Amino acid sequence: MRSASKFAGELRSYLGGTDFIAEVQLGEELKTLREAADILEAATAKVLYRFDKAREYASEGHPSAVSWMRANCRMTGAAAAQRLGVARSLAELPRTEAALANAEIGYQHVAHIARTTAAVGGETVRDAEEILLSAAKQLGPGKFGIVTWHLRHAVDPDGALAEANDIRDRRYLHISESMDGLYYLDGLLDAEGGAILQTALNGLSKPTSGDERSAKQRRADGIVEMACQILDRGDLAQVGGQRPHLTITATVETLAGLAGNPGADIEWGLPVPGETLRRLACDASMRLVVRDTDGSVLDMGEARRTVSPSLRRAAAIRDKHCRFPGCERPLDWTEAHHVCFSISGGPTNLPNTMLLCRFHHRLVHEAGWQIAWAEGGEAVAIPPERYRRQPVQVARVTADPAAV
């Protein structure tokens, strides 16, 4: 213990002088420190195993080594339990212990080996120890973990299946709304479910030309895109006698964008801005509801599509994909956009209709962009003033060119 205390003192002195390390040496210094940390983990495991075996924790009134470590080593119960598992496994695997002590492999490699040892036994792991250590020296901890899982499937397929089923039983998904209208997702998926979701998101979250979204923002948009495409297909089972759909309620004044009017009520959430309402209304079923001054419903009209199926098909033949410059997202990802909004006098016809993917449709409505047809039938996107590096010439741009 005296040598460990001395080392701790030397380390504190070192930490006080790190400002003098040249920047060109920082990478090498980090690698050296990580090697030292792995060596310390090996020493910790050796001492912890003896401490646990001798039940020294009981002399201080603790029921287990994990309990003692939580109280004295500033660890969570999970972290303490993992290190105790590693210590017990290393006592059965002297070659692995030596590799960690010599910084030939990392602590995370050993954690994978310890988990495998707990599942299939030390004798089985010792038989494969040479192969495991060779793999650990060549692979990072993530890929090495796959190697240990393959070993488990090979030597104990029934146990591996039982654990896979147990993991699946732990799956869940929480969706909760905060007071500011944000939705929080929290969940856990098994290997198959996670891989399926990741595969789908990879296809739905690719960046577009000039895309400034972060990877995590693209993944969030990908989940919404997935849900939109499922709802758009209309093949979900009925709920309450009708196909699942998003319902938004608002006044005609809000739809028209007149000042001094409330937002639009959206199902499941807080009100949304009028511009969001107008985007959603570009390509939706709309129903006129007449109310009296008390709010009672006096009359309700038939639901009508703002863009008919035949008009949508014609736009699809012409546009072939999202028409925002540089974007080629497929037709299934697009919504019909009124270049000049209908409630502002724009006609619902082919020249005034443009197919935009959901990302660019929102960019045009809520983010201040403009999009229009230019002569020759090309779409022109005009960024908000904050993005403009030079004046934009829009004299030849029209919402209804005869060329389209």
Tens-place pLDDT, residues 170-189: 999 999 988 888 889 999 99
Strand, coil or helix: what is 245? coil
Most trustworthy range by pLDDT among 46-50, 299-303, 383-387: 46-50
Sequence spans of domains, the chain: 2-168, 172-227, 246-305, 307-404
**Alpha-carbon distances of 186 from 172, 177, 179, rounded to whole Å:** 8, 12, 17
Higher pLDDT, 385 or 160: 160
Please report, as a single letter, which amino acid is at residue 3.
S
Contact status, residue 319 vs residue 379, Cβ threshold 8 Å = no
Name the nearest CA neighbour of 17 among 5, 27, 29.
29
- For residue 300, pLDDT over 80 is answered with no
Which value, in Å, is the radius of gyration of the alpha carbons in the chain? 31
| Top-confidence residue, 45 or 209 | 45
Cα(302)–Cα(298) distance, rounded to whole angstroms?
Answer: 14
Residue 77's φ and ψ, nearest 5 degrees, are -60, -40
In the predicted structure, residue 400 carries a pLDDT above the cut 90: no
Name residue, tokens 């030079």: 390
For range 54-60, the mean pLDDT: 94
Q: What is the pTM of this model?
A: 0.67
Name the token pair of 170: 């732990």
**73-98: average pLDDT:** 94
Beta bridge partners of 31: none
